[in-house]
């Protein structure tokens, strides 16, 4: 047996022992979860064996022991092979998937979810899903969706598209949306940068990012979701009068968001955003408050 094959089988056996547990990948800066080979990914971050981690070592899932894959259907795992629109990973990917979480997603995605891979025009699909063409909020990185549900309940005249890339959070969001019984909210499992790339101007009215992963270390700032590129793409898709809202408890991140908005001529910061920033205290906001970091809300409007 070739040495490379022996190494590969050893890696598979080792990873099988860690199925459904967080795995800390060796820092190789390549072949990381969902990334194209040779690109920089979640080096040193925690990943889960069930969220694409097999690909972190360049391992073909065809040889993955069935115990490692758990109950997740093959089609779901195959989705993780696709390259992301951007080589840099923006989420820390903590947490684990359980059979119950897999089952929650599988049960609720057909009714409460929207498929980022559908390929059809988003506007048509959104109008069909909600049964109307109302103002739409794109809520990014929603975690357990507490603030997302609150917005949907408070604004029955609007529709909400929640995007989350992290599967354990996604399971929590689906369960919470089902429990809340809101019908003007759908959840998309995707990297939001990919969704933004597929949206046409006017498909959403507003974009909100509550407490994006802070990546506080300077060497990790490149992983921050909200920067010049993100802001420019938001300006592409929201109509005049549309808005972007970013909340963070990291003052330097807020400053960087303001700077990105200042450099984007189509957007201007709103001095008094009023009810636009109303929300319940989110899970991550609470953590910041407990650590002595009050939230900073930055709201920008699209100029006419
Ligand atoms: C710090 S948590 C905040 C969750 C929630 N908004 C809150 O305030 O409690 C950031 C969330 O953004 C998600 N996220 C990070 N990068 C993302 C991306 N590129 N696309 C979609 N979601 C992303 C993470 O998975 C995580 O759930």
Q: Name the active-site residue from 51, 191, 213, 249.
A: 213
pLDDT beyond 80 at 85: no
Which mutation among 212, 229, 250 tests ligand 1's pocket best, with the greatest number of atoms within 8 A of CB?
A: 212
Please count the other Cβ atoms lying within 10 Å of the Cβ belonging to residue 187: 25
Task: Please report the pLDDT score of residue 225 as a whole number.
Answer: 97
Task: Please report the pLDDT score of residue 131 as a whole number.
Answer: 98
Query: pLDDT-derived band of residue 118, with 50, 70 and 90 as boundaries?
Result: confident
Task: Please report the pLDDT score of residue 119 as a whole number.
Answer: 83
Least confident of 64-68, 93-97, 150-154, 277-281: 64-68
Query: pLDDT-derived band of residue 6, with 50, 70 and 90 as boundaries?
Result: low
Under CATH, which number does the domain 99-302 receive? Answer: 3.40.50.150
Which mutation among 48, 88, 137, 165 tests ligand 1's pocket best, with the greatest number of atoms within 8 A of CB?
A: 165
The dihedral formed by the CA atoms of 227, 229, 230 and 235, expressed in degrees to the nearest 10? 120
The dihedral formed by the CA atoms of 221, 95, 288 and 227, expressed in degrees to the nearest 10? 30
Q: Separation of 31 CA from ligand 1 center, angstroms?
A: 23
Q: What is the mean pLDDT of the chain?
A: 78
- Print burial letters for 16-33: b (CB count within 10 Å at least 16), e (below 16): eeebbebbebeeeeebbb
* Residue ranges of the chain that CATH labels 3.40.50.150: 99-302
User: Angle 188-190-194 (CA atoms, 0-180°, nearest 5)?
Assistant: 115
pLDDT beyond 60 at 89: yes
Ligand 1: residue whose CA is nearest its atom 1: 213
Q: What predicted TM-score, i.e. pTM, was given to this entire model?
A: 0.75
Q: Is 211 in the pocket of ligand 1 (CB under 6 A)?
A: yes
Percent of the chain with pLDDT over 90: 65
pLDDT beyond 50 at 51: no
Q: Are 140 and 176 in contact (CB under 8 A)?
A: no
Q: Is 76 a catalytic residue?
A: no
Ligand 1: residue whose CA is nearest its atom 23: 141
| Alpha helix (H) residue ranges in the chain | 3-17, 66-69, 74-79, 99-112, 122-130, 146-154, 167-180, 192-198, 228-237, 251-262, 283-290
Tokens of 162: 């929640």
Q: Please give the DSSP secondary-structure letter assigned to residue 201.
A: T
Task: Please report the pLDDT score of residue 254 as a whole number.
Answer: 98
pLDDT beyond 90 at 62: no
């Amino acid at each position: 047996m070739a040495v490379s094959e022996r190494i590969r089988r050893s890696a598979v056996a080792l990873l099988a022992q860690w199925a459904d547990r967080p795995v800390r990948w060796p820092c190789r800066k390549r072949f990381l979860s969902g990334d194209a080979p040779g690109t920089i990914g979640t080096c040193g971050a925690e990943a889960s064996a069930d969220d694409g981690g097999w690909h972190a070592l360049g391992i073909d899932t065809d040889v993955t022991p069935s115990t490692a894959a758990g109950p997740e259907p093959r089609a779901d795992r195959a989705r993780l092979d696709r390259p992301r629109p951007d080589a840099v990973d923006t989420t820390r990917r903590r947490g684990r998937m359980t059979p119950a979480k897999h089952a929650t997603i599988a049960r609720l995605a057909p009714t409460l979810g929207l498929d980022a891979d559908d390929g059809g025009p988003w506007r048509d699909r959104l109008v069909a899903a909600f049964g109307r063409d109302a103002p739409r909020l794109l809520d990014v990185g929603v975690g357990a969706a507490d603030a997302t549900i609150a917005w949907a309940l408070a604004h029955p005249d609007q529709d909400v598209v929640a995007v989350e890339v992290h599967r354990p959070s996604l399971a929590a969001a689906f369960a919470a949306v089902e429990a809340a019984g809101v019908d003007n909210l759908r959840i998309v499992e995707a990297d939001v940068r990919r969704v933004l790339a597929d949206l046409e101007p006017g498909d959403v009215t507003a974009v909100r990012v509550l407490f994006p992963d802070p990546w506080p270390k300077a060497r990790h700032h490149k992983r921050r979701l909200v920067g010049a590129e993100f802001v420019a793409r938001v300006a592409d898709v929201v109509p005049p009068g549309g808005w972007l809202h970013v909340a963070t408890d990291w003052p330097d991140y807020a400053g960087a968001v303001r700077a990105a908005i200042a450099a984007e001529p189509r957007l201007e910061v709103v001095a008094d955003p009023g009810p636009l920033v109303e929300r319940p205290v989110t899970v991550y906001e609470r953590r910041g408050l407990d650590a002595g970091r009050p939230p900073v809300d930055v709201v920008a409007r699209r100029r006419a």
